[in-house]
């Protein structure tokens, strides 16, 4: 199941807080789809360490889509 | 959706332990620069308020003015930029800072060089080129650190391209400045000391400081305004015009008797126009209200326009080329354009860094209760700083142009108020580190 989260109107570091706050509730088959205004580089080490995988796409200037899901076995 | 309960994380330090901080430079590397720069800004403002009478009717190379100008340019402007770049370049280029030890050594050299250079100028000694040598050593170390960091960059983004040019101009301005300091009593290297001084000042104000501001603003102002627009068309035009205008002006001033100054001034003014058009696009596309940081940026843009107008006036002869009109020109650049931009960005950068080191936790268990960036700074104080700076800058330019001592004193008082409020506000932000026991 996909869950959408738009953090485009939030100022750093609020997007980071908003995204991380949603992760604990993510079931193994769920995907969090985040709409972001830039590539969230500080987020990636958190995801790696917390057992999540991600894929980031640049859709347009100032528009990124980050898909986050639990790593298998994590 | 089925919610799965996760096992509780192992006990770890809660605050200031975000995983990416392991790669970031230590907090006190940029912060020591910001503390030095806040102190220098206050010393400049206090000196300007206290010694306002010395500015009018004196040669602009007078020791008091020369020393105070370098407190502002080296202590306030350069220290802030170097500190910000220690933090920014690893983030921009997705790599680690090449050498924290060299960056710390560079800070010590910068601080020692500033104290000895200005101290020797104010003390009446003739050996202040020794201070200039320390400063040149500091700059060489910074360039080494940023150059090595840049070499390991995954990609050089648009801001990085601007910084590359800014570093080249920094090296050139230090070479000209050190030679100027050595030659001041000798008169061997430069036939026209005035031409060399003009080259030195413009390599600093336009090449080093303004190109850094322009490059960084594309990244930071867009981020803080939550506005993302294509930057490269007008940006390329700006960069090209700055390079042609500045190199032409510097060579013309050093070697050719300033025959084409109106041409170079026009190119630089056009560059500013293209940059202002780009910033207008960013502000038009913003998703958030004008907060103090963005208002400081708008004030900087107004100050930059005033600086350009004064430059065109001097270049075309619409404004009489006197010591006071030159002081108005440099004052508009440093206090009207550069200072508001710096203060605006500092009111975002310093709270953000403090937040990262004091409040960014390793494990997040909803509901997450951490302060926002706005909680770490006083917005009301920032608005007061803005009002004081706008008045101080405007009155200062008017005072130099009109030769009015009362206006100059009023300008000094407002600048001192701004610097005091700024120091208090930054101190308030830093106090969060102590309260939360951050690393």
Neighboring chain B residues of A13 at a CB cutoff of 8 Å: 352, 355-356, 360, 373
- pLDDT bin (cut points 50, 70, 90) of residue B9 is very low
The interface predicted TM-score (ipTM) is 0.75
Mean pLDDT across B220-235:
83
Task: Tell me if chain B has a CB within 8 Å of the CB of A2.
Answer: no
Write down the pLDDT at residue B127. 78
Least confident of B20-34, B252-266, B296-310: B20-34
CA dihedral B384, B388, B389, B395 (to 10 degrees): 160
Of A8, A27, A41, the CB nearest to B3: A27
Confidence band for B272, pLDDT divided at 50, 70 and 90: very high
pLDDT score of B394: 97
Contacts of A52 in chain B (CB under 8 A): none
Contact B3 A1 (CB under 8 A): no
With pLDDT > 90 as the criterion, what percentage of chain B qualifies?
60
pLDDT value of residue A42: 78
Residues of B in contact with A12 (CB under 8 A): 223, 352, 373
pLDDT band at B183 (very low <50, low <70, confident <90, very high): confident
Q: What is the pLDDT of residue B11?
A: 36
Given this model, what pLDDT does residue B147 score? 92
Residue A1, chain B, CB below 8 Å: the answer is yes
Residue contact B364–A45, C-beta within 8 A: no
- Asked if A64 is an interface residue toward chain B (Cβ–Cβ < 8 A), one would say no
CA dihedral of B7, B13, B18, B20, whole degrees rounded to 10: -110
Which among B18, B287, B370 is the nearest to A9, CB-wise? B287
pLDDT tens per residue, range B50-69: 988 777 766 555 788 889 99
Largest CA distance in chain B: 82
Give the closest residue to B56 by CA, choosing from B391, B401, B330.
B401
Of A21, A22, A24, the CB nearest to B6: A24
> Quick one: pLDDT band at residue A49, thresholds 50, 70, 90?
confident
- Residue B259: pLDDT over 80: yes
Q: Terminal CA-to-CA distance of chain A, rounded, Å? A: 18
Residue B367 and residue A21: Cβ atoms within 8 Å?
Answer: yes
Is the pLDDT at B336 greater than 60? The verdict is yes
Nearest CA among B349, B217, B225, B291 for reference residue A9: B225
| B153 contact A CB<8A | no
Confidence of residue A61 (pLDDT cuts 50, 70, 90): confident
Q: Taking CB atoms and an 8 Å limit, are B287 and A8 in contact across chains?
A: yes
Confidence of residue B4 (pLDDT cuts 50, 70, 90): very low
* pLDDT of res. B14: 40
- Using a CB–CB cutoff of 8 Å, tell me whether A37 touches chain B: yes
What's residue B210's pLDDT? 97
**A1: which chain B residues are within 8 Å (Cβ-Cβ)?**
1
pLDDT digits (tens, 9 = 90+) for A30-46: 999 999 988 888 788 88
Of residues B81 and B173, which shows the higher confidence score?
Answer: B81
pTM above 0.90, yes or no: no
Average pLDDT over residues B242-270: 93
Interface test with A, best of B5, B366, B371, B375 (most A CBs within 10 A): B366
Mind telling me how many Å the CA of A47 is from chain B's nearest CA?
10
Q: pLDDT tens across B113-155, in order?
A: 999 999 998 887 777 778 888 999 999 999 999 999 988 887 7
Residue range B345-370: average pLDDT? 79
**Chain B (336-365) residues lying within 8 Å, Cβ to Cβ, of chain A:** 352, 355-356, 360, 362-365
Interface subset of A 4-23, CB within 8 angstroms of B: 8-14, 16-17, 20-23
Cβ contact (<8 Å) for B223 and A12?
yes
Residue A21 and residue B362: Cβ atoms within 8 Å?
no
Read off the pLDDT of each residue in B233-241 and give the average, rounded to a whole number: 93
Which of the residues B20, B90, B294, B362 would you substitute to probe the A interface, choosing the one with the greatest number of A C-beta atoms within 10 Å?
B20
Phi/psi of residue B216, each to 5°?
-70, -35
Q: Across B66-70, B346-350, B429-433, which has the greatest mean pLDDT?
A: B346-350
Rg (CA), chain A: 11
User: In the structure, what pLDDT confidence band is assigned to residue B436 with cuts at 50, 70 and 90?
Assistant: low
d(CA B205, CA B24): 30
Tokens of B236: 């390329």
B121: tokens are 């100028």
Which tokens go with B124?
A: 């009446």
pLDDT of amino acid B94: 76
Closest CA to A9 of B222, B372, B290, B226: B226
Identify the bridge partners of residue A69 per DSSP, sorted by sequence position.
Answer: A31, A53
Q: Give the gap in angstroms from C-alpha B361 to the nearest C-alpha of chain A.
A: 10
Strands A31-36 and A2-6: parallel
Between residues B403 and A45, the one the model is more confident about? B403
A17 has pLDDT over 50 = yes
Predicted confidence (pLDDT) at residue B75 exceeds the cutoff of 90: yes
| Average pLDDT of the residues of chain A | 86
Mind telling me how many Å the CA of A58 is from chain B's nearest CA? 13
Residues belonging to chain A: 74
- Mean of the per-residue pLDDT values for chain B? 87
């Amino acid at each position: 199941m996909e869950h959408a989260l738009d953090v485009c109107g939030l100022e750093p570091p609020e997007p980071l807080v908003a995204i991380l706050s949603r992760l604990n509730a993510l079931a193994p088959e769920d995907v969090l789809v985040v709409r972001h205004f830039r590539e969230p580089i500080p987020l990636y080490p958190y995801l790696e360490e917390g057992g999540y995988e991600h894929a980031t796409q640049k859709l347009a200037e100032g528009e990124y889509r980050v898909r986050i899901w639990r790593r298998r076995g994590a | 959706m089925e919610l799965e309960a996760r096992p509780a994380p192992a006990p770890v330090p809660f605050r200031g332990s975000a995983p990416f901080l392991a790669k970031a430079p230590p907090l006190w590397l940029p912060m020591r620069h910001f503390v030095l720069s806040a102190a220098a800004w206050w010393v400049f403002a206090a000196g300007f308020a206290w010694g306002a009478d010395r500015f009018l009717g004196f040669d602009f190379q007078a020791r008091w003015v020369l020393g105070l100008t370098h407190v502002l340019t080296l202590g306030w402007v350069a220290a802030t930029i170097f500190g910000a770049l220690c933090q920014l370049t690893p983030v921009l280029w997705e790599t680690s800072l090449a050498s924290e030890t060299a960056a710390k050594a560079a800070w010590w050299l910068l601080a020692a060089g500033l104290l000895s250079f200005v101290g020797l100028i104010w003390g009446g000694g003739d050996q202040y080129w020794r201070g200039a040598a320390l400063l040149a050593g500091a700059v060489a170390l910074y360039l080494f650190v940023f150059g090595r960091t840049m070499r390991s960059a995954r990609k050089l983004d648009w801001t990085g391209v601007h910084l590359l040019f800014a570093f080249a101009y920094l090296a050139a301005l230090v070479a000209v400045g050190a030679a100027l300091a050595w030659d001041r009593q000798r008169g061997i290297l430069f036939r026209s000391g005035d031409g060399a001084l003009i080259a030195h000042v413009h390599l600093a104000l336009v090449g080093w400081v303004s190109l850094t501001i322009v490059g960084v603003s594309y990244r930071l102002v867009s981020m803080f305004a939550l506005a993302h627009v294509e930057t490269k068309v007008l940006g390329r035009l700006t960069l090209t015009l700055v390079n042609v205008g500045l190199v032409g002006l510097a060579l013309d001033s050093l070697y050719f008797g300033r025959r084409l100054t109106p041409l170079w001034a026009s190119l630089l003014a056009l560059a500013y126009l293209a940059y202002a058009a780009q910033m207008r696009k960013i502000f038009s596309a913003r998703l958030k209200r004008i907060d103090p940081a963005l208002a400081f940026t708008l004030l900087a843009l107004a100050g930059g326009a005033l600086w350009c107008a004064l430059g065109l006036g001097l270049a075309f002869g619409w404004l009489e080329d006197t010591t006071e009109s030159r002081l108005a020109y440099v004052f508009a650049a440093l206090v009207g354009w550069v200072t508001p931009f710096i203060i605006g960005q500092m009111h975002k950068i310093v709270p953000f860094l403090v937040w990262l080191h004091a409040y960014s936790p390793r494990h997040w268990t909803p509901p997450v209760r951490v302060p926002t960036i706005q909680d770490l700074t006083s917005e009301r104080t920032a608005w007061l700083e803005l009002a004081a700076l706008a008045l101080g800058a405007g009155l200062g330019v008017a005072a130099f142009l009109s030769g009015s001592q009362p206006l100059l004193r009023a300008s000094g008082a407002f600048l001192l108020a701004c610097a005091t409020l700024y120091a208090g506000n930054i101190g308030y932000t830093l106090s969060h580190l102590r309260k939360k026991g951050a690393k």
